[in-house]
Amino acid sequence: MQYLEERDLDYIGIGAAILGSGGGGDPYVGKLMAKQAIREHGPVKLIDADDLDDDALIIPSAMMGAPAVMLEKLPNGREPEMAFRSLEQYLGKKADAVMSIEAGGLNSCIPIYTAACLGLPLVDADGMGRAFPELPMVTFSVAGMSATPMVLCDEKGNKMLLETVTNAWSETLARTATVAMGLSAMISIYCMSGRNLKDYGVRGTISLAREIGKRLLHASQGKHNPIDSVLEVTRGFRLFEGKIIDIKRDLTTGFVRGSVTIEGMDSCKGSIFELLFQNENLLGLKDSVPAAMTPDLITVLDREKGFPITTENLKYGRRCTVVGMPCDPFWRTEKALQQVGPRYFSYDFDYKPVETLAKEC
């Protein structure tokens, strides 16, 4: 049996931000919340999906919206628990465990906070193995499960319960509400049985995030190259080295949409890398040719220390390394690619795995 202590939050925050592919929110605020909760309530039990009964109730806890606003609009700390308890009340049943809906910096810390506050175990799994920008982009949705009933709460105390006819409607209505709530809200969503989780969840993401963060921190404190340490555990590839020379962002639709242009340095000198994102990095183009694309992971790392740079923290002049990592095999199926592939986001490319593109580049 494993327990998550305060120190684990440092590892998980970093590792999940790397898996988050630029999205899932900067882990700083969520990490502080989770550490405070563990300090007050004790360590969080981390359990495997197989430890759950088939009829157990699991509720994911997360933040929805544009992660950039969390740099200024702080939560009051009660929203995750309020959303969770409200959904339990609606279902008429107490939850047996909490889980993360995605592997993202902030959104891997919020469920730890919720689990600590409620005295519940956290499942070592999620619904993506990375982060994606829209509610239907989870394994459970592709498998036919409903995102609703779901509850949204903001820092003012507003609370909304949604039941929708499709998960596309869940995204539309919840996104509209999130914009009205100030571009961010805490949610409880995709309540499921232990059987559902065992069948469709992406296993081991919390443990993987912890291992990535641990290796990076230890490498940066020693003589090992931190980026090489990340690529070793994620089976990833260096895509580009350079300096950010342009950044465009727009938050009006409830996402952080935009692009970043990186000028090549060293072995990449003379080349340009363009990164397109919608909360998460979705397409990387080296000299206008695809170097990596969704659903594979594309993450920007600090060139010297290897720490992840989320989309809201991309700034002019930063030296960075862009890396690509293979996604969970689930996302490479034809049905999943219809939901998360490049053409879904209106990019005129057919999906090619990052390992194939790395050889071509």
Q: β-strand 125-126 against 202-203: which pairing, if any?
A: antiparallel
The per-type count for the chain, helices as H runs and strands as E runs, is 11, 18
Q: What is the pLDDT of residues 222-276, one digit of tens each?
A: 778 999 999 999 999 999 999 999 999 987 777 888 999 999 999 999 999 999 9
- Note whether 239 and 349 are same-domain residues: yes
* Residue 36 within a domain: yes
Structurally, how many domains does the chain consist of?
A: 2
Q: What is the pLDDT of residue 71?
A: 67
pLDDT at 262: 98
Residue at 174 is within a domain: yes
- Please list, in sequence order, all residues whose beta carbon lies within 8 angstroms of the beta carbon of residue 38, skipping any fewer than 6 positions away: 4, 5, 6, 9, 44, 112, 116
- The verdict on residue 169 lying in a domain is yes
161 with 232, same domain: the answer is: no
The pLDDT score that the predictor gives to residue 105 is: 85
CB within 8 A of 93, min separation 6: which ones? 57
Please tell me whether residues 191 and 280 are part of one structural domain.
Answer: no
Of 152, 174, 205, the residue at which a domain comes to its end is: 205
Do 188 and 290 reside in the same domain of the chain? no
95 and 237 inside one domain? no
Query: In sequence order, what are the residues at sequence separation of 6 or more whose Cβ sits closer than 8 angstroms to the Cβ of residue 256?
Result: 23, 66, 67, 68, 249, 250, 277, 278, 279, 311, 312
pTM of the model: 0.94
Between CA 337 and CA 346 the distance in angstroms is: 13
CATH of the domain at 269: 2.40.390.10
Q: Does residue 211 belong to any structural domain of this protein?
A: no
**Are 258 and 154 part of one and the same domain?**
no
In a domain, 186, yes or no: yes
Token pair of 217 as six digits = 């921190």
Residue 289 belongs to what domain range? 226-360
Per-residue model confidence (pLDDT) at position 73: 78
Confidence (pLDDT) at 189: 97
- Asked whether residue 238 falls in the same domain as residue 280, the answer is yes
Which pLDDT value is given to residue 277?
A: 95
Which residues of the chain register pLDDT less than 70?
68, 71
